[in-house]
Structures are given as structure tokens and as C-alpha cells.
Amino acid sequence: MINMPFPIPLLTTILAIAACLYASYTDMTKGIIPNKLTFPLIGIGIALNGIYAFLIGNPWYWVSCLIITGVIFGLGYLFWKMGAWAGGDVKLFTALAALIPFYPALISYSVFSVNFPLEASYPFTLTIIINSILSILPFLLLYVLFVSVKTKPHLLGKLIAPIKAWKKNVVYTLVITSAVTFTIFITQQIVNYHIILLINYQIILLSLILIYLLSLVISKLPNQVKAVLISVVTVFALFYNFKITLISMVILFVSIMIIEIIKQLLTTVSKEALQDDYSVKDLRDGMILAYNLYQKEDEVYWDEKSFFQRISEAFKKKDMTLINPYKGKLLISSLAAGLTEEDIKLLKKLQMDEKIKINVRIKRGVPFAPSIFIGLLISLFIGDLAFILQQILYKILY
């Protein structure tokens, strides 16, 4: 093996980080990941890893690099065809596969006797993809908040609505606290008197089910009965273990508030912040429709109901076919590939025929490159989040 004055894996990693940082900037400011960035990086990555394979005397390293790059491109192309990814995202992931097909092992550290970063058994680029997908939620929350503040400040009122409704959340906290207190008492009786032989994970599962069912039952009680019950149970819990109960109630209340705010952010606020109305004549290639457009017999309509709205409607009407009803012929989809020239011509024709309104609702494209950048950093310095989650669940259950 030849001694290297500068380790090539470190060089390719630095290039990958710099590329993702630049791609994040262009994706957020211009809505694109330029080809002049990704195409050269694919070639540079393959070339550098070929040199590295020669220096370490292992040609199969380079062959593996080519295979992984090809597989990642194929996977990305499939996602692009499905409309889940934009073309720039596919090329950026392909460039990362060419640059760092294997984990570069830059650092190693230990937390609570666990060695980090934690590697998965599959190629490193798949770890980057998984971490990028998992990272998109916090980035999406920040992006929606940024758009709301910058362009639609009135949405902030809807965002902080859960804070204004703090009294309702206090009641939720007391209801759940009462349900937890009852659950602890019931599970203790089961364990102490061996009513049912349960192992640890079964006790956890039973407790979660009981907490949910008891919370549901208590919340449905008449207000006066509910007030008396949760007051008595909460006082008992505080008397039995004041410190733990009080801390748990505070954490629960704060958690409920955060969950409600995130729910607002992902539903009402997100929908209004990330959608705008455009005249049909102002539509351009690549714009993404907010809803699918269908034709059913002679009717052309927008499918504005979300999957969760359909589930709710199906349960309310007790008709499970409403979850996935027949919608007719799909004319134009709302996938990430965006509108084509043919789609725009069709929309203009439909508008001239007065089958759709003059304005069309368009989604703002949420830039994915910043999530890829975050996913890369997590992969390098923490490890594979899916693998970490798997290990945590294994420790809890076994």
C-alpha cells in the first residue's frame, strides 16, 4: 500500500459537505440544484475513489463505488418517476454516492458506553438518504415558520392558538394524569397478584392501551363528574408522590402544547403558508399543483381532501370505502415532478371551457437540499438514525 500525503476519503468528505452546503443555498434562494455542481462531482468522486483504490491496492473498492453510484442513481430515478423527488435531488444523492460510497470514519467517540457514529450494514449513501428523509420534518417546520413570518404574518395567530387555549390543555393534562394513575394501580395489582403473567414489553404495551382507553372514557364523562374525578385522582397522585407527579404534569402539559403547535404548523398553517393562487395564464413548467385534478364523467374537479380527512370521514359515516373511493381519470397529478407544457395547455383549455376556475392553487416547492445537508452531517457524526432507533426499541423490548 502506498502512503498518501492527504487521505482521499477526507478530501471527498469535505467536497461532499461543501457541495451540500452550496446546494442548500441555491435550492433555498433559486429553487434549483445546478447541474454544473452535481455532474462534475459525480466524475470527480469516481476518479478520486479510483485513485484511492489503486493506492490501497484494492480494485474491488472502485468497482463497489461504481455499483453503489449506479444503484443510488437507479433508486433516485425511480423516486423521480414516482414524483417524490426532483431531478436535482437525484443528481445530488448520486454525487454523494460517487464521493463517499463507504463510511469515511472521520471521528469516533463514546456516549454512555455506546460508540458513535453508529453504522448500518448497508451502503453509507443509503444512511444519508434515510437521515435526510427523517431530517425533513424539523426543517419543514422551520421553513414554514420562516415563510409565515416573512410573507403571511397573520398565520402566526393561528400558530399560537394552542397557547391561547391553555385552559383546555390543562384539562387534557389532568385527564391523562388521572388515566396514568389508574393504569399504574391496575398494572401493579396484575404484577403483584400474578393475575396475568406478563413480561416487560407486554406490561408497557398494556399500560399504553389502558392510558389511551381510560383517557378516552374520562374525557367523555359529563363535565361536573369529570371535574370531581380528575381533581380527586390528581390530589391522590400528588399526595402519593408529589415530586414525580408534579414534574410529570409539567412535562405533559408542555408536550401537549408543543404537539398542538406542531399540528397547527403541519396542517392549517402549512397549507396556507406553502400554497398560493396563480392565474392559469401565469403557470410555468415545474410548478407543483396543490391537488390532483380528476375527470369523472363530464365533471372535472380538484381532489382537495387529504388522506387523514378521508379516514375521519369514513369513520364518521361508517363507510370504509370512503378512504379510497373511485375518483375517475387522473388528468394532472400533484407530485414533485411538477407541471409540464402539456399539463399547462390542458389547464388553459379547461379554463377556457369553464370547467375549472381562472386561479389554480400551487404548492411552494420545499427545498430538499438543506435536509440532505443535515442528513449528511448526522450520518457522518452521529450515524444511521434508523439503526439507532432500532437499537433503542430492542433495548426497551428485550
Condensed to tens digits (0 to 9), the pLDDT of residues 367-385 reads 889 999 999 999 999 988 8
User: Taking the alpha carbons of 73, 75, 76, 80 in that order, is the dihedral positive or negative?
Assistant: positive
User: What does the mean pLDDT of the chain come to?
Assistant: 83
3-class DSSP assignment, residue 30: coil
Residue 339 counted as domain residue:
yes
Mark whether 234 and 218 lie in a shared domain: yes
337 and 258 within one domain? no
Confidence of residue 22 (pLDDT cuts 50, 70, 90): very high
Look at the chain and report how many structural domains it folds into.
Answer: 3
- Domain range for 263 is 161-272
Confidence of residue 82 (pLDDT cuts 50, 70, 90): low
Q: How far apart are CA 85 and CA 79, in angstroms?
A: 6
What pLDDT was estimated at residue 64? 93
Q: Are residues 298 and 354 in the same domain?
A: yes
8 shares a domain with 33: yes
Q: Is residue 82 part of a domain?
A: yes
Q: How far apart are CA 398 and CA 389, in angstroms?
A: 14
What is the spatial distance between Cα 366 and Cα 186, in angstroms, rounded to a whole number?
Answer: 47
Q: Is residue 190 part of a domain?
A: yes
> Among residues 88, 98, 97, which one has the least CA distance to residue 129?
97
Under 8 Å between Cβ of 19 and 39: no
Backbone angles phi, psi at 22, to 5 degrees: -70, -40
- Residue 182, pLDDT > 80, answer yes
What pLDDT is recorded for position 31?
A: 75
The pLDDT > 90 percentage for the chain reads 25
Note whether 87 and 7 are same-domain residues.
yes
Task: Check whether residue 240 and residue 286 sit in a common domain.
Answer: no
Does 96 map to a domain? yes
Q: Predicted confidence band at 83 (pLDDT cuts at 50, 70, 90)?
A: low
Give the closest residue to 23 by CA, choosing from 86, 114, 76, 67: 86
Q: Mean pLDDT, to the nearest integer, of 42-61?
A: 92
At 5, the pLDDT band (50, 70, 90 cuts) reads very low
Same domain, 252 and 316: no
Q: How much is the average pLDDT of 17-27?
A: 93
Same domain, 246 and 281: no
Share of the chain above pLDDT 70, in %: 91
The answer to whether residue 122 sits within a structural domain is: no
More confidently predicted of 284 and 378 = 378
- Note the pLDDT tens digit of each residue in 328-369: 888 888 776 678 888 999 999 988 988 888 888 887 767 889
The residue-averaged pLDDT of 131-142 equals 80
- Tell me: do 291 and 235 sit in the same domain: no
170 and 252 share a domain? yes
- 222, 249, 272: which is the final residue of a domain? 272
Residues 294 and 222 in one domain: no
CA distance 27 to 136: 14
Confidence of residue 196 (pLDDT cuts 50, 70, 90): low
